[in-house]
Chains A and B, each alone.
Chain A
Amino acid sequence: MVENRPWLTVFSHIVLLIGVVIIAFPVWMTFVASTHDAQTMLRSPVPLLPGPHFFKNYREVLTEGYARTSGIPVTIALFNSMVMALGICIGKIIISIIAAFAIVYFRFPFRMAAFWAIFVTLMLPVEVRIVPTYGVVAGLGMVDSYSGLIIPLIASATATFLFRQFFLSVPDELAEASRVDGAGPIRFFLDILLPMSRTTIAALFVIQFIYGWNQYLWPLLVTNKESFYTAVMLVARQATAVDATPSWNLIMATAMLAMLPPVLVVIFMQRQFVRGLVETEK
């Protein structure tokens, strides 16, 4: 809409600014807290500007960890989180793109039944099936392993559904043209469909990476050894230290570090992400 109403512009910007402040203020406080020493954070009033201990705090959590509760450096937890998030996210994309390819391009018995079965599981969050899933994973001896962290979360109804919708929008003539050109189903998939799904894959990568990174309940259940703890778990564990006053400066430094990778993924993949959700290339 092209309209020239200065007061409306001012008003809408004020609304937007208020929104930004509401969202950004806690993040700012987290950052500020991670730059002071422990004593300052326990005194009132809580500081609103960064302090002098930025490097000291971050060096401490990255190399030594928060000794009183977990005792592992955040570096290891970040690595664990990264393995889990990438594993879940890449696994989800591979499995669901293949599942969607089967559902859209092949006629097999109970095809629609399979699709609806996948679709219905969209409505079930991980938490609903977490106890039986734990039973299975424990029975298979996958507790305290990366496969135990990744595999139970690797199927994705959302991604399958999104790929299915994209494949349905690809004109049939493309599949036919490639058949006439001599491509079998696998070649069609690899040469034509996969490159065309690029933007959809990018969008799903962002969504699923964040989903994997932010997992809390499942890693909590399936890991006992500290060397398999994830970054998100670490933040929570540090805050619930029972026998001491929590070192908020270190907890907040850990939280900042745990927040960083998803932010980076969003920043660097934002363009593809938006294109994948908005535009389809045909």
Chain B
Amino acid sequence: MATVSMRGVRKSYGGALEVIQGIDMEITDGEFIVIVGPSGCGKSTLLRMVAGLEKITGGEIAIDGRVVNELEPKDRDIAMVFQNYALYPHMSVYDNMAYGLKIRGFTKSDIEKRVRHAARTLEIEPFLERKPRQLSGGQRQRVAMGRAIVREPKAFLFDEPLSNLDAKLRVQMRVEIKKLQRQLGVTSIYVTHDQVEAMTMGDRLIVMNKGVAEQIGSPIDVYARPASLFVAAFIGSPSMNFLEARIGSDGSLTLDGASLRPKTRIDPGRAVTIGIRPEHLSVGSGFDLQVELVELLGADTLVYGRLSDGKALVVRLPGNEVPRIGDRLPVKANEGAWHLFDSETGKRLGAA
């Protein structure tokens, strides 16, 4: 158990291309941090820099107060779970889990005790003598976890560990990993591109885009007050609706005839992008929506339509409300549910 600090961490390949552009982050003891972002945003690179598998170009990373920039992975006291599990194919499950301990010179009985204990925790005791290829995806995933926990490291690093599993198993393992982490209380960094995993597992999220941390905060914070257009669009499904608008001379803005008053003062004449989540719209007098497509999800109904000025909008309604295609549907926004962003910089300006 330990803290992990990143101070101005940078990574570039051959100078020209900077894939990590300065990340600052303090991870407290026992925290579960999820790094989330689209592919190519540098999230895996950042994790691998913490692990010591990638060199750090600039800044420093400290684990438990000790700067580890120049340390080999084995000296950092971390354990990593890989996307493809990276189990040693010729070793039994037991040997896979014992290997790291064996190298570190633990005694036979000590290894035995730790491996058995981890196997019991993960419910893989019946498979200890099997080879990885005789296991299912979910079982391999557990073995990979077991290999990490027997070491009792200062931090766990997870590199998209669930993306090779089918949807049902992913949900199950997601819950188990979270439970296990809470039970062991080990500081964890978890990389994923799946926003549901990010929202459900993380104590805090780092939302990354093109090598920059767009926002660092608790899941609910990131959802309720996204710091930028990118975060707003990335978190939430279906995605937030965005509409272009301009602040009027009185500081308010008009949208399809209705007037909105931002809670914070914004310079008149400024171009803004306003956003609202589909789930924050409901049936009621406000705007008229020309319904173009209806998706029935059972619990919810997604309504795709256009406002009178041609702008597209998605509305999430309860499953029992099913408008007909071609109808005019009056919709209203929840109080204070509008997000305002600067159209040029993408930064959050406030709510309305």
Binding site for B on A (CB under 8 A): 171, 173-174, 176-183, 187, 191-192, 195-196, 198, 281-282
- Chain A residues within an 8 Å CB radius of B52: 179-180
Asked if B90 lies at the interface with its beta carbon under 8 angstroms from chain A, I say: yes
Contact A183–B103 (Cβ < 8 Å): yes
A182 and B74: CB pair below 8 A? yes
**Which of B83, B89, B103, B133 touches A181 (beta carbons < 8 Å)?**
B103
Closest to A280 in B: B89
B287 touches A (CB below 8 Å): no
Q: Would you give 21 A-B contacts (Cβ < 8 Å), ordered by A? A: A171-B84, A171-B86, A173-B82, A173-B84, A176-B82, A176-B86, A177-B80, A177-B147, A178-B99, A179-B52, A180-B78, A180-B79, A181-B99, A181-B100, A181-B103, A182-B104, A183-B99, A191-B88, A198-B90, A281-B133, A282-B89
Task: Please determine whether B73 and A187 come into contact, CB atoms closer than 8 angstroms.
Answer: no
Q: Name the residue in A182, A187, A195 with the highest tally of chain B Cβ atoms < 10 Å from its Cβ.
A: A182
Say yes or no for B327: interface residue by CB 8 A criterion.
no
- Is the beta-carbon distance between B103 and A187 smaller than 8 angstroms? yes
In-complex Cβ contact of A180 among B73, B84, B90 (8 A)? B73
Chain A residue numbers with a CB within 8 Å of B82 are: 173, 176-177
Q: Which positions in B face A, CB cutoff 8 Å?
A: 51-53, 72-74, 78-80, 82-84, 86-91, 99-100, 103-104, 133, 147
Question: Distance in Å from the Cβ of A242 to the closest Cβ of chain B?
Answer: 57
Contacts A176-B53, A180-B73, A181-B74 given; does A195 touch B90 at CB 8 Å: yes
Q: How far is the CA of A281 from the CA of B133 in the complex (A)?
A: 9
Q: Which residue of A lies closest to B79 (CB)?
A: A180
For the complex of A and B, the 3 pairs showing the least CB-CB separation, nearest first, are A173-B86, A182-B74, A181-B100
Is there an interface contact between B90 and A196, defined as CB atoms closer than 8 Å?
yes
In the bound complex, residues from chain A placing their C-beta under 8 Å from that of B83 are 173
Nearest Cβ in chain A — how far from B51, in angstroms? 6
Interface centre among B51, B52, B87, B103 (most CB of A within 10 A): B103
Complex Cα gap A179–B79 (Å): 10
Contact of A179 among B53, B87, B91, B104 (CB under 8 A): B53
Shortest distance between the CB of B241 and any CB in chain A (Å)? 40
Distance A171 CA – B164 CA, assembled complex (angstroms)? 15
- Whole-angstrom distance from the CB of A282 to the nearest CB of chain B? 6
Instruction: Find chain A residues with CB under 8 A from B100 CB.
Output: 180-182
Q: What chain A residues lie within 8 Å of B91 (beta carbons)? A: 195
Residue numbers in A under 8 Å from B53 (CB-CB): 176, 179-180
Within 8 Å CB of A171, what residues of B? 84, 86
Which residues on the A side are within 8 Å of B88 (C-beta)? 174, 177-178, 191-192, 196
